[in-house]
Amino acid sequence: MLTNIIIVLLTFFIMEGITWMTHKYVMHGFLWVWHYDHHNKNPKSFFEKNDYFFIVFAVISMSFFLIGTFVAQFWFLFYIGMGILTYGMAYFVVHEIVIHQRFRFFTHSNNFYVKAIRRAHKNHHKHLEKGDGECFGMLWVPFHFFKNAWNETK
């Protein structure tokens, strides 16, 4: 039981690095065609091509669930899939609700962490083309954003 929890938590934390690399080298690389409309939002459309990435990661997570469920020697893959799913849910809440407010559940916060990630993401979005990007992470951003937000909340 403890091993399973450790696998889920470890996968969750590793996903931040995978997300950073995917964002920098895939979304701002060869799949910019999907990510472009996230930086150049069409105000008339709720959905973006960028939303395809949710489907890609969901399929990966479901694949881990299936293999981990039906292939006994790969039982641990189920828990890796659970870590990916958990990270995906956190990503949805943080990125879509807190940062971009695509769903108006969470519109204001004085929390230094929320301020830091929102400011870092805003800094990321000042770049409208695929090159010269910065702040590719989601849950962990460069330290100076945390420091500045912390100083503002005091």
pTM: 0.89
The alpha-helical segments, DSSP class H, found in 1-154 are 2-21, 32-39, 52-70, 76-91, 112-125, 143-153
Residue-wise pLDDT tens digits, 106-118: 777 788 899 999 9
Residue-wise pLDDT tens digits, 33-88: 999 999 998 888 889 999 999 999 999 999 999 999 999 999 999 999 999 999 99
CA dist., res. 137 & res. 140, Å (int): 6
Which is more confident, 101 or 16? 16
CA dist., res. 52 & res. 57, Å (int): 9
Candidate ranges 60-69, 91-100, 144-153; pick with highest mean pLDDT? 60-69
Residue-wise pLDDT tens digits, 3-43: 999 999 999 999 999 999 999 999 999 999 999 999 998 88
- Separation of CA 83 from chain center: 13
CA dist., res. 118 & res. 145, Å (int): 9
Sign of CA dihedral 26, 30, 35, 36: positive
Cβ–Cβ contacts within 10 Å for residue 138, how many? 21
